[in-house]
Chains A and B, each alone.
Chain A
């Protein structure tokens, strides 16, 4: 167990293991995304009340779910780097932020496009939607804050604190549809009790949620690899890596 943690702190080991994971995870992710999108777009029947506009669910819900999960990853990595000063946690935190921002943007943008035919408006200052917008700003804030510091150690600390403070927003997003009167509907998929969504729609949705989780993992690992290369560009293992690549 401890040797595992010890290895996790080693940049060359992390770089190569991430590469090995990506070699099979990237193709699986892309196939799952294509299958899920085609399934949702062409092979499911329309919703009896919303018609075809509901097909946006297959990207809107997965993007929103994983945007929240990505925030946990970022905040936990931030906490770990603050408390135990583990450099790799700082790398993970920085790698998660832009991906989380992209996912949150997808959720908001597709939500607006779905809102127009369903609620008759692109945007409302509704609890769920506003708290998601705050999530987007938190992600962008972490990205910008990191760039604002010349001292990267100070940048890491500031970003970790920001992402931890931003954690307050997460339960607000989850509970916003229950606490406030909201246009946004409550969750249709429940782990306890019956889901209020038909199986024919649930399966492609589950596939897309899995695909978005895989997408986030891929992007997180790729960002971490790039970040490791930059931080370690003067070390021997990167030079060895480069000469191996040159010979090919």
Chain B
């Protein structure tokens, strides 16, 4: 490791205030672009699941067939 102490890592000779926010924001954005499509997929799958269940219920009760 290049640095000797945790404090040195955080301060980075005064450049820590630039380096750490840059990495922090990057990590946050990476997390966002990773999570957004997963949440969208999950939401869609749950939506389709409830539609399928509703359709199946109708078939069983016999009042209405599938369109």
Q: Does A218 contact B (CB under 8 A)?
A: yes
A109:B25 contact, CB within 8 angstroms:
yes
The total of Cβ contacts below 8 Å across the A-B interface reads: 107
- Contact across chains for B45 and A241 when beta carbons are under 8 A apart: yes
Closest CB-CB distance, B45 to chain A, in whole Å?
Answer: 6
* CB-based contact B3/A106 at 8 Å: no
Contact with B along A97-111 (1 / 0, CB 8 A): 011001001100110
> Which of the residues B15, B37, B49 comes within 8 Å of A225, measured between beta carbons?
B37
* Chain B, residue nearest A220 (CB): B37
Chain A residues 211 to 248 lying within 8 A of chain B, measured CB to CB, are 215, 218-219, 222-223, 225-226, 229-230, 233, 238-239, 241-243, 245-246
Q: Which residues of B contact A102 (CB under 8 A)?
A: 29-30, 32-33
Contact assessment for A33 and B15 in the assembled complex, using a CB-CB cutoff below 8 Å: no
A41 touches B (CB below 8 Å): yes
Chain A residue with Cβ nearest B12: A52
> Bound complex: CA of A37 vs CA of B26, how far in Å?
11
Q: Tell me whether B52 and A45 are in contact (CB under 8 A).
A: no
- Taking CB atoms, residues of chain A closer than 8 Å to B59 are none
Cross-chain contact A106 with B25 (CB below 8 angstroms):
yes
A203 on the B face (CB < 8 A): no
Interface string of B19-55 (1 = CB under 8 A from A): 1011101110110111011101100110111001000
For B, the interface residue count at a CB cutoff of 8 angstroms equals 33
Q: How far, in whole Å, are A165 and B38 apart by their CA atoms in the complex? A: 31
Q: Is the CB of B29 within 8 A of A233?
A: no
Question: How many Å lie between the Cα of A101 and that of B18 in the bound state?
Answer: 22
A44 touches B18 (CB 8 A): no
Which segment of A3-11, A53-61, A136-144 sits at the interface? A53-61
**Does the CB pair A109–B45 fall under 8 Å?**
no
Contact-residue size bin, chain A (C-beta under 8 Å from the other chain):
35 or more
Question: How far does the alpha carbon of A59 sit from the alpha carbon of B21 in the complex, in Å?
Answer: 12
Residues B18 and A56 in contact, CB atoms below 8 Å apart: yes
Task: Please name the residue on chain A nearest to B19 by beta carbon.
Answer: A55
Asked if A63 CB lies within 8 Å of chain B CBs, one says yes
> Which of B14, B26, B40, B45 has most A Cβ within 10 Å?
B26
- Which residues on B sit within 8 Å (CB–CB) of A186? none
Smallest Cβ-Cβ distance to A111: which chain B residue: B22
Q: Please judge, given known A-B contacts A42-B3, A242-B45, whether A37 and B23 are in contact too, CB under 8 Å.
A: yes
**B37 partner residues in chain A, CB cutoff 8 A:** 219, 222-223, 225-226
A238 touches B48 (CB 8 A): yes
Tell yes or no: A85 within 8 A of B by CB.
no
Q: A42-B1, A43-B2, A226-B38 are in contact. List 7 more A-B contacts (CB 8 A).
A: A37-B23, A51-B12, A52-B19, A56-B19, A102-B33, A222-B34, A222-B41
- List 6 interface pairs A-B (beta carbons < 8 Å), by A numbering: A102-B32, A102-B33, A114-B22, A215-B33, A226-B44, A245-B45
